[in-house]
Amino acid sequence: MEVKCSICGRKQEITKVHKDFQKLRKDPTAPFICDYCNDRLKFQAREEQKPKQPM
């Protein structure tokens, strides 16, 4: 099944063993976020949570 990332628009082929396969098969309009965007969002959230260093 070919799906499109909701953030970057990259097309990706997923198989039955992918964690989101069942969700996307039932509802093709469900949002899909690729692994690259998922990792990028996690990193940005972690960096934002860090305490700011004084100048």
User: Could you tell me which of 7, 3, 4, 2 has the C-alpha nearest to residue 37?
Assistant: 7
pTM score? 0.75
pLDDT digits (tens, 9 = 90+) for 13-43: 999 999 889 999 999 899 999 999 999 999 9
Output the pLDDT for position 28.
87
SS3 label, residue 25: helix
Pairing mode, strands 11-13 and 2-4: antiparallel
Q: Which two tokens stand for residue 52?
A: 């700011």
Domains: count for the chain: 1
Answer whether residue 55 is part of any domain: no
Output the pLDDT for position 53.
86
Q: Is the pLDDT of residue 52 over 90?
A: no
β strands within 1-55, DSSP E = 2-4, 11-13
Answer whether residue 54 is part of any domain: no
Q: Which two tokens stand for residue 31?
A: 């949002």
